[in-house]
Amino acid sequence: MAFGNFNNTKLSHISHNLSLSTLWKSLSVSGALLFLLYTFAFNHHHQMITHKLFAPLDLGFSSSFSSTSEKPASSSLQITRESPTKLSHLFFVIVGSTKTWRYRRGYIEPWWRPNITKGFVFLERPPGRDLLPWPNQSPPFSVNKDSSITNQFKTHQIRLFQSLHESFKKASKDTRWFVIADDDTLFFLDNLVEALDRYDHKKHYYIGMNSENVWSNAVFSFDMGYGGGGYALSYPTVVTLLNKMEECIRRYLGFYSDLLSFRCLADLGIDLTLEKGMHQIDLHGDVSGLLSAHPQCPLISLHHFDVIDPIFPGMNRQQSVNHLMKTAKTDQSRVLQQTICYQRGNNWSVSVSWGYSVHIYQSIFPRNHLKRPLETFRPWKNVRTPSYTFNTRRVTNDPCEMPRQFFFDSVVEDKNQSMVTTSYKMKMARSLPPCLLNGNHSARNISQVRVIAATIHKMGEGIECCNVQYVNSTEILEVKIRACHKDEVLA
Ligand SMILES: *[C@@H]1O[C@H](CO)[C@@H](O)[C@H](O)[C@H]1NC(C)=O
Ligand SMILES: *[C@@H]1O[C@H](CO)[C@@H](O)[C@H](O)[C@H]1NC(C)=O
Ligand SMILES: *[C@@H]1O[C@H](CO)[C@@H](O)[C@H](O)[C@H]1NC(C)=O
Ligand SMILES: *[C@@H]1O[C@H](CO)[C@@H](O)[C@H](O)[C@H]1NC(C)=O
Ligand SMILES: *[C@@H]1O[C@H](CO)[C@@H](O)[C@H](O)[C@H]1NC(C)=O
Ligand SMILES: *[C@@H]1O[C@H](CO)[C@@H](O)[C@H](O)[C@H]1NC(C)=O
C-alpha cells in the first residue's frame, strides 16, 4: 500500500512537473521576447530623453571641472600609482612639558621607535638637569620658540599651533600626515599607519575620534577629534590651517587646543573623519570592560593612563602599559580584537579580547550582547545618563551573566608556522558560583586559557570565529582562532 502510494505520488509529481515546466518554458520564451522588445524600446526612448535632458549639464560639469580643479583630478590619478603610506610618512607632534615629561615618557617610549619614528616632543622651556641627558629611547625634544603669535597671545593653548608650525618647517617633503598627540597618548603605530593608508593624503583630512562620554561631546563637540586619543591632519590640511592660524586664534582664544583645532578646521570646511580605534578614554576606574569588547577595528590609541586604574590586575600603570605592548610587537592588528565562540556541552560562551583578556560566561550569549562592554568603569563626570556614546552591560552578581575573567600573561610566536599563542591567567578575585539555570557547569577548574592564532591577520576583513576545547584535563582551555564558516552565526 505504502509503496504503491509512494509511486503514485511520485509519478503524478513528475507529470505535474513536466506540464509545469513546458508551460514555464513557453511562457519564459515569449516573456523573454517581450522583455527584449520592451527593454530595447525603453532604453532607446530613455537614451533619447537623457541626451536631451542631461547632455548640456554634463558638458557644463566637465568644463567647469577641468578649469577649476585640475589638481584634484591629476592627484587622484597619481594616487593609484603612489606607494602605500609608511611610518616614515608620519610626523608626530607631541605637546609636552618639562613638568610632566619625567612621568609621561613611560607612555611614549614603549611605542616610539628611535631613529625611525619622526617627530618631536615639544617643551615650553629647555629641559633642566633632572631631564638630562635626554634618553635615546625618547623622541627628540624641541623647545617652543617665542614668535609673533606667542608675544601677542601668551596662553598655553596656542603651544599646539607653535609646535605644528615648527614641525611643518622641520618635516621632510615626503611627510603625508602630521599626528598630534598628548604626552600620555599610547599609539599602536602599525595600526595607525594602516588606518591612514586608507585615506588620500593629498586631500584635506582631519582624522580622529570623539569622547566616550556623551557629556564631553555635548559640552565640546561630537565633531571634535579629542587630543588625548590623538588626531591626524593630512599635509594639505596643515597648510590650510597654518595659513589661517593667527586669524583663528584671535577668534577662539582661550579654549583647549583640540577644541581650537576643531573650530578652526570646521570654519575652513574641513570636518572630522571618525576612526573608532582612537581612544580618548574619558573614563575613570577599571576600563577592562571596555578593552574586553573593543569595536571591530584595529586599536590605534589609548590615553589617560594616569587617571584610570592599571589595566592589568597586580601591576602598576607603567608595568601594565609595557605588558600590553608585548602583544603589540607580535601581531598588532589583533590587539584587543574580540573573537567569540561557544562550548555548547557546558553552555559556555568564550569571548577573547586578543592580547588582553578572555571572558568565560556560563551561558550562551549572542555576539550582539557580548559586543557591549561590561560597565566596569565610571564616566568622566558624574552627570545624568546616558553617560556613554556606546551601549554597555551593567555589572551584576549573577553568575549566569558575569564572566570568569582571565588576563593576558605571556606570548609565544612560532615564526616558522606563522602562529602566535597567547596565554591568559585567572584574575585573583572572588570565585564565581556555577550558573544553575544552564545546567550547573562550573568554569571554576579553568586556570589558564590559551589562544592560538595565525600571525598573518588581515585588517578590516570582517570578524573571525574560533573553536574551543580542553587540553590536559579541565584546567586549560584552548581557543583556536579560525576563519568563520560561510554565514556562521554567533549566538
Ligand atoms: C640613533 O642614531 C644616532 C646617530 O644618528 C645614534 O647615536 C643612536 O645610537 C641611535 N639610536 C638608536 C636607539 O638606535
Ligand atoms: C624554523 O625553521 C628553520 C629552518 O626552516 C629551522 O632551522 C628551525 O629549527 C625552525 N624552528 C622551529 C622553532 O621550528
Ligand atoms: C543549557 O541550558 C539550558 C537552559 O538555558 C538547559 O535547558 C540545557 O539543558 C543546558 N544544556 C546543558 C548541556 O547543560
Ligand atoms: C552542581 O554541581 C556540583 C558538582 O559539580 C554539585 O555538588 C551540586 O550539588 C550541583 N548543584 C545542583 C543544584 O545541582
Ligand atoms: C575539576 O577537576 C577535578 C580534578 O582536578 C575533577 O575531578 C572535576 O571533575 C573537575 N570539575 C569540572 C567541573 O570539570
Ligand atoms: C600537560 O600536563 C603535563 C603534566 O602536568 C605537562 O608536563 C605538559 O606539558 C602539559 N601539556 C601541555 C600541552 O600543556
Listing DSSP states for 29-77 in one string gives HHHHHHHHHHHHHHHHHHHHHHHHHHHHHHHHHHHHHHHH-HHHHHHHH
pLDDT of residue 14: 36
**Whether 155 and 260 share a structural domain:** yes
**Whether 214 and 356 share a structural domain:** no
pLDDT of residue 25: 43
Cα 446 to ligand 5 centroid, rounded to whole Å: 9
Cα 115 to ligand 1 centroid, rounded to whole Å: 6
Q: What is the CATH number of the domain that holds 382?
A: 2.70.130
Stronger pLDDT, 251 or 400, i.e. the higher one: 400
pLDDT of residue 51: 34
Angstrom distance (rounded) from CA 415 to CA 390:
38
Atom of ligand 1 nearest to the CA of 115: 1
Q: What is the CATH number of the domain that holds 253?
A: 3.90.550.50
Domain boundary among 230, 246, 274: 274
Q: Is residue 70 part of a domain?
A: no
Q: Is residue 396 part of a domain?
A: yes
pLDDT of residue 473: 78
Q: State percent of the chain over pLDDT 70.
A: 79
Angstrom distance (rounded) from CA 238 to CA 277:
22
**Whether 114 and 181 share a structural domain:** yes
**Whether 333 and 243 share a structural domain:** no
Stronger pLDDT, 429 or 106, i.e. the higher one: 106
**Across 325-381, where does the E strand assignment appear?**
338-343, 348-353, 357-361, 377-379
Range 71-78 average pLDDT: 44
Query: Which residue is it, cell 603612489?
Result: 82
Residue 96 pLDDT exceeds 80: yes
pLDDT of residue 256: 85
Residue 254 pLDDT exceeds 90: no
Instruction: Give, rounded to a whole angstrom, the gap between the first and last alpha carbons of the chain.
Output: 45
Cα 469 to ligand 6 centroid, rounded to whole Å: 15
Stronger pLDDT, 415 or 116, i.e. the higher one: 116
Whose Cα sits closest to atom 10 in ligand 4? 440
Q: What are the pLDDT digits (tens) for 263-282?
A: 999 999 999 999 999 999 99
Atom of ligand 3 nearest to the CA of 347: 1
Number of helices and strands in the chain (H, E): 13, 19
The ligand minimizing its distance to the Cα of 137 is: 1
Atom of ligand 4 nearest to the CA of 442: 5
pLDDT of residue 440: 95
C-beta of 472 in contact with ligand 6 (< 6 A): yes
Cα 415 to ligand 2 centroid, rounded to whole Å: 8
Number of domains in the chain: 2
User: Binning pLDDT at 50, 70 and 90, where does residue 152 land?
Assistant: low
Angstrom distance (rounded) from CA 86 to CA 408:
29
Stronger pLDDT, 201 or 9, i.e. the higher one: 201
Domain boundary among 274, 308, 334: 274
Domain boundary among 274, 309, 335: 274
For 192-206, give one letter per residue: b (16+ CB within 10 A) or e. Answer: bbbbbbebbbbebbb
pLDDT of residue 16: 42
pLDDT of residue 457: 66
Cα 471 to ligand 5 centroid, rounded to whole Å: 13
- Find out whether 106 and 138 touch, Cβ atoms under 8 Å: no
**Whether 330 and 211 share a structural domain:** no
Q: What are the pLDDT digits (tens) for 305-328?
A: 999 999 999 999 999 999 999 989
pLDDT of residue 456: 72
Whose Cα sits closest to atom 11 in ligand 4? 440
Stronger pLDDT, 478 or 36, i.e. the higher one: 478
Whose Cα sits closest to atom 9 in ligand 6? 472
**Whether 351 and 208 share a structural domain:** no
Residue 1 pLDDT exceeds 80: no
Residue 358 pLDDT exceeds 90: yes
User: Binning pLDDT at 50, 70 and 90, where does residue 148 land?
Assistant: low
Q: Is residue 443 part of a domain?
A: yes
Residue 343 pLDDT exceeds 60: yes
C-beta of 392 in contact with ligand 5 (< 6 A): no
Residue 135 pLDDT exceeds 70: yes
- Choosing from 447, 472, 474 the residue with most ligand 5 atoms within 8 A of its CB, the one to mutate for a pocket test is 474
Q: What are the pLDDT digits (tens) for 447-486?
A: 999 999 998 766 556 789 999 998 877 899 999 999 999 9
**Whether 105 and 246 share a structural domain:** yes
Residue 355 pLDDT exceeds 70: yes
Alpha carbon of 255 to those of 154, 180, 264: distances in Å? 13, 17, 12
User: Binning pLDDT at 50, 70 and 90, where does residue 6 land?
Assistant: very low
pLDDT of residue 5: 38
Atom of ligand 3 nearest to the CA of 345: 13
**Whether 334 and 269 share a structural domain:** no
Q: What are the pLDDT digits (tens) for 171-219?
A: 999 999 999 999 999 999 999 999 999 999 999 999 999 999 999 999 8
Least confident of 98-102, 177-181, 222-226, 247-251: 247-251
The ligand minimizing its distance to the Cα of 140 is: 1
Task: Using alpha carbons, select from 174, 14, 10 the residue that is nearest to residue 90.
Answer: 174
Cα 442 to ligand 3 centroid, rounded to whole Å: 13
C-beta of 116 in contact with ligand 1 (< 6 A): no
**Whether 263 and 331 share a structural domain:** no
Strand order in the sheet with 118-123: 141-143, 118-123, 90-95, 177-182, 231-234, 206-208, 272-274
Instruction: Return mean pLDDT, the chain.
Output: 83
Atom of ligand 5 nearest to the CA of 474: 14
pTM metric for this prediction: 0.81
Q: Is residue 330 part of a domain?
A: yes
**Whether 210 and 359 share a structural domain:** no
Q: What are the pLDDT digits (tens) for 403-416?
A: 999 999 999 999 88
Q: Is residue 472 part of a domain?
A: yes
User: Binning pLDDT at 50, 70 and 90, where does residue 381 land?
Assistant: confident
Q: What is the span of the domain harbouring residue 404?
A: 326-482
Whose Cα sits closest to atom 10 in ligand 6? 472
Least confident of 178-182, 253-257, 361-365, 371-375: 253-257
Q: Is residue 294 part of a domain?
A: no
Angstrom distance (rounded) from CA 17 to CA 22:
9
**Whether 110 and 220 share a structural domain:** yes
**Whether 416 and 478 share a structural domain:** yes
Residue 31 pLDDT exceeds 70: no
Cα 313 to ligand 6 centroid, rounded to whole Å: 26
Range 84-99 average pLDDT: 96
Strand partners, 468: 479
- Choosing from 346, 404, 440, 445 the residue with most ligand 5 atoms within 8 A of its CB, the one to mutate for a pocket test is 445
pLDDT of residue 42: 39
Cα 171 to ligand 5 centroid, rounded to whole Å: 62
Q: Is residue 304 part of a domain?
A: no
For residue 267, give the amino acid letter. Answer: D
Q: Is residue 488 part of a domain?
A: no
C-beta of 439 in contact with ligand 3 (< 6 A): yes
